[in-house]
């Protein structure tokens, strides 16, 4: 298979547009979030069936605490019930679930539900599902730097041995393949403090669909678009064609 038509190994999605989806229907924002959980379930299943190695979903940003209290509380309850309901299905499908973000500030009941599902699926050998909750890209880089500084202080690492891989090794995505495809639904063309470091060479795809309207077909369109792109990583297009014909992966 050539570089161009490979499946992405790691897809990350900003699931945006739940509120506007509900507003358009004169319904409370939380109805949009509930519908959004259903979409997440479909997309997780689809990615797992396709053989995607890692799917990262942005569920709640470190900035989303600024929303009205009822909405924040409603979202937290929704996360708890979704985890409890889906735990066995994740296990059946061998999906390994991990949360990324500053989990320690989430409600205790949610932290318990997270710990339970993470423990339940820890030996799963299929797709890794990363749920970003109370996550911020700047926070992720900051916590990586903190861990590195600790190592330096303990004398386990020399400052002049720190390189780009060291930072990446302490990010919350250290155990999964590099990010290939970033998708944002909802029509906004911005990153909103998602995976800042990891986005360096990801392919970006923006969909106008509100998240509750996003579907397996829309996902396949995004993947098809990705497959047709030439990822040059700084090289020239001609170099890639040459490498391909000489058999380099
Ligand atoms: C994304 O949908 C879900 C979360 C941020 C939790 P929004 O709630 O941001 O929906 P819009 O952008 O207001 O439509
Ligand atoms: C990003 O969406 C966060 C999530 C989807 C969880 P937002 O709706 O919070 O982003 P902004 O505030 O419009 O940039
Ligand atoms: Mg939004």
Tens of each residue's pLDDT in the chain, 249 residues:
444 458 999 999 999 999 999 999 999 999 999 999 999 999 999 999 999 999 999 999 999 999 999 999 999 999 999 999 999 999 999 999 999 999 999 999 999 999 999 999 999 999 999 999 999 999 999 999 999 999 999 999 999 999 999 999 999 999 999 999 999 999 999 999 999 999 999 999 999 999 999 999 999 999 999 999 999 999 999 999 998 888 755
* Residue 136 CB–ligand 1 contact under 6 Å: no
**Chain CA centroid to CA 202, Å:** 12
For the beta carbon of residue 119, count every other beta carbon within 10 angstroms. 10
* Residue 60 CB–ligand 1 contact under 6 Å: yes
Nearest ligand, CA 58 = 2
Q: Which two tokens stand for residue 32?
A: 């949009």
Specify the fold of 4-245.
Undecaprenyl pyrophosphate synthetase (3.40.1180)
For the beta carbon of residue 76, count every other beta carbon within 10 angstroms. 15
* Residue 169 CB–ligand 2 contact under 6 Å: no
- The per-residue pLDDT for 5 is 58
Cβ atoms of residues 127 and 53 within 8 Å:
yes
Nearest ligand, CA 132 = 2
Please name every residue paired with 14 in a beta bridge, in sequence order, or none if there are none: 58, 184
Q: Which two tokens stand for residue 123?
A: 């030996």
Residue nearest to atom 8 of ligand 1 (CA): 19
- The per-residue pLDDT for 1 is 43
CB contact set of 56 (below 8 Å; sequence gap of 6+): 10, 11, 12, 13, 100, 129, 130, 131, 132, 173, 176, 179, 195
Q: Which two tokens stand for residue 75?
A: 């979202």
End-to-end, the C-alpha distance of the chain in Å comes to: 9
Residue nearest to atom 13 of ligand 1 (CA): 19
The burial of 28, by beta-carbon neighbours within 10 Å (0-12 exposed, 13-18 middle, 19 or more buried), is given as: middle
Calculate ∠ Cα 60-20-49, nearest 5°.
60
* Residue 188 CB–ligand 2 contact under 6 Å: yes
Sign of dihedral through CA atoms 59, 65, 71, 77?
positive
Q: Which residues are catalytically annotated?
A: 16, 64
- C-alpha closest to that of 33 among 73, 64, 78: 78
- The per-residue pLDDT for 220 is 98
């Amino acid at each position: 298979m050539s570089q161009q038509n490979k499946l992405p190994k790691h897809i990350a999605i900003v699931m945006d547009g739940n509120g506007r989806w509900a507003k358009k229907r004169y319904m409370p924002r939380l109805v949009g979030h509930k519908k959004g959980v259903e979409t997440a379930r479909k997309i997780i299943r689809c990615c797992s069936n396709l053989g995607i190695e890692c799917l990262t979903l942005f569920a709640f940003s470190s900035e989303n605490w600024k929303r009205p209290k009822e909405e924040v509380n409603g979202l937290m309850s929704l996360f708890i019930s979704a985890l409890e309901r889906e735990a066995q299905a994740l296990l059946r499908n061998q999906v390994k679930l991990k949360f990324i973000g500053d989990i320690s500030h989430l409600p205790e009941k949610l932290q318990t539900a997270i710990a339970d599902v993470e423990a339940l699926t820890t030996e799963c050998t299929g797709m890794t599902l990363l749920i970003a909750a109370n996550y911020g890209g700047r926070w992720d880089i900051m916590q990586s730097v903190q861990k590195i500084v600790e190592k330096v202080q303990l004398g386990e690492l020399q400052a002049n041995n720190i390189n780009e891989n060291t930072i990446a090794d302490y990010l919350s995505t250290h155990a999964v393949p590099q990010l290939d495809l970033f998708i944002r639904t909802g029509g906004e063309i911005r990153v909103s403090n998602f995976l800042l470091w990891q986005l360096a060479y990801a392919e970006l795809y923006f969909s106008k669909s509100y998240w509750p309207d996003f579907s397996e077909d829309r996902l396949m369109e995004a993947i098809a678009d990705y497959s047709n792109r030439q990822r040059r990583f700084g090289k020239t297009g001609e170099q890639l064609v040459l490498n391909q014909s000489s058999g380099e992966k």
